[in-house]
């Protein structure tokens, strides 16, 4: 009996959060559609979320591409199919690893920052102050971050795709005796527009998730500095979990098209 009640309570709490997050997202959408818009803030967030994530995304991509190439080479060798390594590396990176890795790095870097920033503003009454200054904190703080992440993550994914494939190419030509030109040609001939585009669609959704989690947990933070820390942690964990779940759903859906 007690167990049933505990399970019921957890389920209710989860439903509660899902509802609150959905409302939050809808509110963001409404604010985005109706304006006023703060373009200065958007530019600021684009540079903070997009440009300054380039190093970490690039580094992750090059190592992942290289490791992927080595593993597929070994795996392919088990049935004499090493020569399709460039194609599999390119496919894996554009459809899956590019968007997911870029999104996870952003979840760690950006969700946490957003939650901490907005949470600290909540804790020190800056959000209240902003409202009394006739400026909607939702439009000033939340909307620019959501839009910036939705724009930035697909662009970062293009960079991650390119650098990831370059990482595989580097290993293949340096250590595995692949011909540099043939590798590139095989990749280019094989990859279809949809491979890249489906990855970018995923990235757009992930961008929304990353910013939404940061904003939601920051905006609803309470309890001073400890509350801000908790908001950060929750934002990162929730963003990462939602990225994995929605990645599977989208992959499943794309595979049936």
Partner 1 sequence: MRGQWIETLMGFVVLALAAAFLIYVVRVGGFEGVRRGYEVSARFGDVGSLAPGATVSVAGVKIGTVSRVSLDPKTYLAQVDLAIDPEIKLPADSSAKITSDSLLGGVHVAVAAGGSPEDLKPGGEIENTQGAVDLFGLIGQVVRPQPSGDPANED
Partner 2 sequence: MTRPPPKLEWRGVSKRFGAEPVLNRLNLTVPAGCSLVIIGGSGQGKSVMIKLALGLIRPDAGKLLLDGKALPGLGGRLQRRLYGKAGVLFQGAALFDSLSVWENVAFRLINADGVPRKTARRRALAALERVKLDPDIAERFPSELSGGMQKRVGLARAIAADPEILFFDEPTTGLDPITAAVINDLIVDQVKRLGCTTLSITHDLASARRIGDEIAMLHEGQIVWRGPAADLDRTDHPQVRAFVDMQSA
Pick from 9, 22, 83, 124: which binds partner 1 (CB under 8 A)?
A: 83
Q: Does 117 bind partner 2 (CB under 8 A)?
A: yes
- Rg for the chain, CA atoms, rounded: 21
CA distance from start to end of the chain: 46
Is residue 257 classed as helix, strand or coil in its secondary structure? coil
Put residue 177 in one of left, alpha, beta given phi > 0 → left and psi -120 to 50 → alpha.
left
Residue closer to partner 2 by CB (options 104, 118) is 118
**How many CA atoms does the CB half-sphere of 227 hold within 13 Å?**
15
Give me the 169-208 binding string for partner 1, x by CB under 8 A, dash otherwise: x-------x--xxx-xxxxxxx------------------
C-alpha to C-alpha distance for 106 and 108, rounded to whole angstroms: 5
Residues 235/213, Cβ–Cβ less than 8 Å = yes
Of partner 2, partner 1, none, which one sits near residue 244, judging by CB under 5 to 8 A according to partner kind? none
Q: Which one of the spans 95-103, 116-124, 159-167, 204-212 is the region binding partner 1 (CB under 8 A)?
A: 159-167
The distance of closest approach from Cβ of residue 76 to partner 1 in the complex, given in angstroms and rounded to an integer, is: 8
Residues 158/57, Cβ–Cβ less than 8 Å = no
Restricted to residues 35-64, the positions that interact with partner 1 (CB under 8 A) are: 51-52, 54-55, 57-58
CB burial of residue 87 (10 Å; 0-12, 13-18, 19+): middle
Of partner 1, partner 2, none, which one sits near residue 135, judging by CB under 5 to 8 A according to partner kind? partner 2
The distance of closest approach from Cβ of residue 136 to partner 1 in the complex, given in angstroms and rounded to an integer, is: 26
Position of tokens 């000033």?
Answer: 140
CB burial of residue 166 (10 Å; 0-12, 13-18, 19+): middle
Restricted to residues 36-75, the positions that interact with partner 2 (CB under 8 A) are: 38
Of partner 2, partner 1, none, which one sits near residue 181, judging by CB under 5 to 8 A according to partner kind? partner 1
Site residues (CB under 8 A) for partner 1? 51-52, 54-55, 57-58, 77, 79-84, 87, 158-159, 162-163, 165-166, 169, 177, 180-182, 184-190
């Amino acid at each position: 009996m007690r167990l049933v009640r505990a399970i019921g309570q957890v389920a209710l709490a989860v439903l509660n959060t899902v509802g609150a997050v959905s409302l939050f997202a809808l509110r963001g959408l409404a604010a985005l559609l109706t304006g006023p818009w703060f373009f200065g803030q958007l530019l600021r967030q684009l540079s903070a979320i997009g440009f300054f994530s380039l190093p970490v995304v690039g580094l992750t991509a090059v190592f992942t591409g290289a490791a992927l190439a080595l593993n597929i080479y070994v795996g392919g060798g088990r049935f004499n199919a090493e020569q399709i390594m460039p194609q599999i590396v390119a496919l894996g990176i554009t459809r899956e690893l590019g968007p997911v890795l870029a999104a996870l790095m952003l979840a760690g870097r950006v969700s946490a920052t957003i939650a901490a920033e907005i949470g600290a503003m909540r804790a020190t009454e800056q959000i209240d102050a902003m409202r009394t200054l006739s400026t909607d904190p939702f439009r000033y703080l939340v909307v620019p971050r959501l839009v910036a992440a939705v724009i930035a993550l697909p662009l970062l994914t293009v960079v991650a795709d390119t650098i990831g494939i370059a990482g595989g190419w580097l290993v293949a030509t340096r250590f595995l005796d692949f011909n540099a030109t043939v590798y590139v040609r095989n990749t280019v001939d094989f990859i279809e527009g949809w491979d890249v585009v489906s990855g970018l669609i995923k990235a757009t959704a992930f961008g929304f998730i990353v910013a939404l989690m940061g904003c939601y947990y920051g905006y609803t933070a309470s309890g001073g500095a400890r509350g801000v820390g908790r908001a950060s942690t929750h934002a990162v964990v929730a963003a990462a979990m939602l990225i994995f779940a929605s990645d599977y759903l989208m992959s499943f859906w794309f595979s049936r098209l």
